[in-house]
Chain A
Amino acid sequence: AQSVTQLDSQVPVFEEAPVELRCNYSSSVSVYLFWYVQYPNQGLQLLLKYLSGSTLVKGINGFEAEFNKSQTSFHLRKPSVHISDTAEYFCAVSDMNYGGSQGNLIFGKGTKLSVKP
C-alpha cells in the first residue's frame, strides 16, 4: 500500500521569498503523483501532476515539482511567493496499475503555507 509523508505541517515565509514544500512517498509499484491546493473554505484545486516523462513538472500559479524516483520524493517549489499563495497544500499518490483498490488517491496530511508581507 502507498503512503505519503508531508514533512512540514506549517511553512511560514515572507512575500517574494522562495519556498519548497516537501513530500515523500512509499510504494511497491510505480506511481502517479499530484499536488493540490486548498484555499480557506474552498475545495481542492489541482496544481500539477506527474504521470510520466520529464521529472520536472510545471503547474499553475508558477509552481513546479520534481519527481525523484531514487529518493521517492516529489517536492513542490515556487521561486517567489505572493500573499495570495497562502493556502494548504496536499501531496497525493496513486499507483499506476489500475484495478481493484489500485488507482485510489492517497493524500498526505497537508502543509499550511503562510505568506507574510
Chain B
Amino acid sequence: NAGVTQTPKFQVLKTGQSMTLQCAQDMNHNSMYWYRQDPGMGLRLIYYSASEGTTDKGEVPNGYNVSRLNKREFSLRLESAAPSQTSVYFCASMTLGGTEYGYTFGSGTRLTVV
C-alpha cells in the first residue's frame, strides 16, 4: 500500500545511547517532515525537508539531526538520547497537487528513554 513507512514502531533507549528513526514514502512527494507528539502539546515540528538535498530546522530541533538520503527517505537521528526525548515521533510527506494537497503520516514510533 502506498504511504509513509516508519521503523521501528517501538524503541527503548538508555540515556546517552544513539539511534536513527527511519522514514520512507513511495508517493513521489517532495516534502517530508518529522514531528514529535507529547501529551498536551500537540505535534511539534522537529525538522523538515522541502525537497531532496535540503533540510531545515523546525520548532524543536535541539538534540536531533536529519538526513534526506534521497527523495524517498528521511531519517531522524538522536546522537545522545535524553529522557526529555521520550515521545511519539511521526514522519509525514506532503504533496502540492491541487485538490490533492495534503499530508500523509506514518504510524509513528514510540520512543522511551530511560
Contacts and interface: CB of A to CB of B under 8 A. Distances in A.
A108 B40 CA distance: 10
Interface string B22-45: 000000000101010000111111
Given A43-B106, A43-B107, A109-B40, A104 B45 contact: yes
A107 interface: yes
Interface residues of B, number: 25
Contacts, number: 54
A105 B42 contact: no
A44 interface: yes
Interface of A is mostly: loop
Contacts of B103: 34, 46, 105
A101 B56 contact: yes
B107 A100 contact: no
B114 interface: no
A42 B99 CA distance: 26
A83 B60 CA distance: 35
A9 to B, nearest CB: 7
9 contacts: A6-B42, A9-B40, A43-B106, A43-B108, A49-B102, A99-B50, A101-B56, A105-B33, A109-B40
